[in-house]
Amino acid sequence: MKEIGGYLEFEDLGGREYYPDLLKLNLGRTACTFYLKGTGVRRLYMPVFMCASVIDAVREAGIELVFYNCDRRLHPVLSDLPAGPLPEGECLFLCNAYGQLENATILSLKETYEHILVDNTHAFFQAPAPGVAPLYSVRKFFGVTDGAYLASDVPLAPPEERDESHARFSHILGRYEKDAGTFYKAMLDNAHSYEGAPVMRMSRLTEDLLGALPYERIEEQRKANYACLADKLDAINPLSALFHTPCGGPFVYPFYINDGPAVRKALAARKIFVPTYWTNVMADAAPGSVEADYAANILALPCDQRYGAKEMDAVAEAVLACL
């Protein structure tokens, strides 16, 4: 029998998630291996432009990896792949970095290779392409500690075990009331705690929070913030001629500069924190490659729902001052 009485717990907030009908899992990397193992994939064609946590998870699952490169638009270069549909047991993994793969491109690749999985970690608001399996990791877009969605193109039963996230919220709740620096170590400890994590269902707490978010407002605010940065920086951003405005609410505004690490450090001194994604790519990719260049020199300028035009003006002015 469920307990009755005693002190009050966190409220059941009700509401509706953005993807209520998709499989709800604990992490993007576990959603990836859950799909690959569930569909019998033994060989995965993986982009070089991929974070180490996903690469490690796939290798630990016993799946062979074959890497391919991307071009300067972050579209896959697949000249070394078989010309027609991939055989059973093989799959093409697409990284929708910065939301640069539109669904029309994804569907074209699906028609050619048949077996594909799309990483939409940077494109939460980009709806699944028909008949395609995408995964979404929610921590990049919202203040939660876990959570992923998977739209499988084949029936997959969800895992029985459910994750629990009550012990992981200190850095998120802490930053709500204080500054990021105070809880930075707690954030890192939380990220490290996921190493080797098994696939589980999304935690009840995260599912509850995701059901209560104002998605329409969040999406529109991200669009407005991106447009504000684009208005001030597109003229000096080499990527503006190569990249399109992402579908739905953008992840970040990607700004290219020749000395990305130095500018990133200068921005941090102004309390504008720009993360370095794919640090493993900076170390492992071929010198001079698109991947090595982009991992080091694309500044992922924040444009999320916490901010408005005032903050975007401050970010743009700081970038211009640091050049």
CB distance 121 to 134 below 8 Å: no
pTM: 0.94
| Close Cβ partners of 83 (under 8 Å, ≥ 6 residues apart) | none
CB distance 260 to 306 below 8 Å: no
Helix or strand (DSSP H, E) at 133: strand 133-137
Boundaries of every domain in the chain: 23-210, 215-322
Give the span between the Cα atoms of 243 and 256, in whole angstroms.
11
Encode the chain (323 residues) as per-residue pLDDT tens digits.
778 899 888 888 988 999 999 999 999 999 999 999 999 999 999 999 999 999 999 999 999 999 999 999 999 999 989 888 999 999 999 999 999 999 999 999 999 999 999 999 999 999 999 999 999 999 999 999 999 999 998 999 999 999 999 888 889 988 888 888 888 888 888 888 888 889 999 999 999 999 999 999 999 999 999 999 999 999 999 999 999 999 899 999 999 999 999 999 999 999 999 999 899 999 999 999 999 999 999 999 999 999 999 999 999 999 999 98
As its CATH architecture, domain 23-210 has 3-Layer(aba) Sandwich (3.40)
Per-residue model confidence (pLDDT) at position 2: 79
The conformation of residue 213, written as its DSSP 8-state character, comes to -
φ, ψ at 300 (rounded to 5°): -85, 85
CB distance 144 to 173 below 8 Å: no
Distance of CA 317 to the CA centre of its chain: 27
CATH topology of domain 215-322: Aspartate Aminotransferase, domain 1 (3.90.1150)
